[in-house]
Amino acid sequence: MSARNVEGGTPVRAAPRRELTLGAALPLLAFLALAALFPFLPLGSRAEFLLQIAFFTLVAGIMALSWDILARSGQVSLAHAAFYGLGAYGYALLLKAGLPWALAMPVAALLAGGASLILGAVTMRLSGMYFAIATLAFTEVVRTIIQNLPESVAGGATGLLVPALLGGNSRAQYALAWGLLAFTVLVSLAVRLTRLHFAFAAIRQGEETARVLGVSIVRFKLLAFFISSSLAALAGVLYAGKTFFINPLETFSLANSIAPLTTSIFGGLYTTLGPVLGAGVLRVAEELLHNSVKNGYLVVYGLVLMLSILWLPRGLMGLRRNKKHGGDL
Amino acid sequence: MTAATTTGGALSPTPQGVEVLRAEGLSKRFGGLKAVQDVSFTHHQGEILAVIGPNGAGKTTLLNLLSGVYRPSAGRLHLGGRDVTDLPMEARCHAGLGRAFQIVRPFPEMTVHENVTVGALFGKPGQRLPKARERAWALLERTGLAAHADKAAHELTLLQDKRLEVARAVATQPSVLLLDEVMAGLRPGEAQEAVALVRGVRDSGVSVLFIEHIMPVVRDLADRVVVMDQGQVLAQGTYREVTADPRVVSAYLGTEEGLHA
């Protein structure tokens, strides 16, 4: 009785939304294409310097996007520096142990992923501020452990020399970083377009309701941690191989945990394009400011960030038309 | 058109049909407070079972024990012959317990269709996304929400929200659906539509257990009624039986008009 189709007539079967359409993916493809073309531009005498900035922009993109994947499951983490550092140190130590770099890289990523499961299991029942503080403490624990390993192993507080990635060829290094960002983008899209999206979003928007509807939150929260931290570790590998010298203080610095968070918020949370775009814009802005406002560029930078968060609550992604929930990749 | 829901006349204490849910001496203490005490009842397949009682009788605590929000201090719960007492919420859902909340809890950043898809996708293990999407569509059509599929949940009216809450729970393919005061806050006309909705759910083969304050709704909808008072079962039987029970009348003392409305 009347609990039927109110439209009458033919049953409505609108095309399910949020499919991966070329239109939705276009900005993302354009961004990646531009990034791929960058080394072929006539960069002139400052090529090395510009390539380095571009390289770390890609690294920032991987960090932000991997952080966002974890955030989609409602876990706002301050442990990204830990995974970054575990990637960097894991890679360096595996090279020391004699592994070829191409093997050391994925193994370091998986090791960081494994370590994240410990953190994920401990923080399973925490949320909000308590979760954030626990992840922050985790970073300190990891840093302290690495710093206090015998100096012959991990270099202690002084740090560790890392063989330069790809023989120090900056174009090849850039290509590798681009490839890893593209890989991160693919992982993010895969999360977005499969059942993981529904699980993560449901947990974020109502954990108890999600459980009542059968979402196995333990499994999905840990999976989010594993994916996110492995990708962040890849960024750490790139960092270690590019700077060829790492120390605990810089590698595990709070800034490495905060930057992915602010970048994602600035670009647009829970999207693929947002964090990547945010990294591009913020990194370039940072360099420009650094050049023009030598002293206190951080003040201006912070101000830009604050104002944009105030005026653009949905980040850069909020600037797009047709943004009514969904459609965004 | 309406299935035989009026069993009020016949005095048949023998339970008909197959048991789907059985509570055995369920108890829950919060410190010194005995919120639920030694509650036992049997719920049969295809039955609409109402749990009524004055405020503070322990109805919602009982529902939380059934759906797994709380673990009982004592007692067992069987679902389809299987002991589910120690299962967490998500496993109880997989075992066949669906639940709709009194205060609707849609996922705010999802569309109506996506909300139902979550239930269709995770309610039982091993569901595929395209299939879950299809089933969500079918449920939206059945519950009169198809026209609102792409809306955000906060754009719905209260009645539509309740429909969504029920559709999402039904999407998990439960054998027993637990409803916590779905009629609360609805106008009389809307309540009638909600009654039809619940009947439709039962007619699709789902046994329904609901908590309700509004006695006419209980009279129209319930095959059997469990009356609770101060955490305990005071009486069980058909609507007519329990409302004729002097203990029930005295528990409701002062609201007798409500009882006989």
- Chain A contact present for B96, CB below 8 A: no
In a domain, A123, yes or no: yes
B200 touches chain A (CB under 8 A): yes
Cβ–Cβ contact A195 with B under 8 A: yes
Q: Per the domain annotation, does A3 fall within a domain?
A: no
Burial class of A118 by CB neighbour count within 10 A (0 to 12, 13 to 18, 19+): exposed
Does B118 contact A210 at a Cβ distance shorter than 8 Å? Answer: yes
Quick check: is A125 in a domain?
yes
CB pairs under 8 A between A and B: 114
Name chain A contacts of B196, Cβ cutoff 8 Å: 1-3
Which of B90, B117, B169 is facing A211, going by the closest CB pair? B90
- The answer to whether residue A136 is domain-embedded is yes
Subunit contact B107:A7, Cβ cutoff 8 A: no
Number of domains in chain A: 1
**The amino acid at A163:** P
Is residue A148, in this structure, part of any structural domain at all?
A: yes
Q: Does residue A130 fall inside a structural domain?
A: yes
Out of A4, A16, A214, name the one closest to residue B90 (CB).
Answer: A214
Q: Do B118 and A17 touch (CB under 8 A)?
A: no
What contacts B136, CB < 8 A, 6 or more positions away? B113, B116, B117, B119, B120, B171
Q: Does A15 touch chain B if contact means CB atoms closer than 8 Å?
A: no
Residue of chain B with shortest Cα separation from A194 = B129
Residue A154 structural domain: 46-252
Q: Is the ipTM of this complex over 0.90?
A: no
Residue B152 has pLDDT above 50, yes or no: yes
For chain B, domains (ranges, CATH) are 19-260 (3.40.50.300)
pTM: 0.90
Nearest to A201 among B99, B107, B152 (CB): B107
Does a structural domain hold residue A152?
A: yes
Q: Closest residue of A to B151, CA-based?
A: A325
pLDDT at A289: 84
Alpha helices, H only, chain A: 22-37, 47-71, 80-96, 101-122, 128-148, 151-154, 170-193, 195-205, 207-212, 217-243, 248-251, 254-267, 273-292, 297-311
Q: Assess if residue A213 is contained within a domain.
A: yes
CA distance A143 to A136: 11
pLDDT in tens, chain A (329 residues): 333 333 333 444 444 444 556 677 888 999 999 999 999 999 888 899 999 999 999 999 999 999 999 999 999 999 999 999 999 999 999 999 999 999 999 999 999 999 999 999 999 999 889 999 999 999 999 999 999 999 999 999 999 999 999 999 999 999 999 999 999 999 999 999 999 999 999 999 999 999 999 999 999 999 999 999 999 999 999 999 999 899 999 999 999 999 999 999 999 999 999 999 999 999 988 888 888 877 777 787 788 778 887 888 888 888 875 544 444 56
**Could you tell me if B1 lies within 8 Å of chain A, comparing CB atoms?**
yes
What's the rounded Cα separation, in Å, for the pair A150 and A155?
7
Handedness of CA A69, A75, A81, A85 (dihedral sign): negative
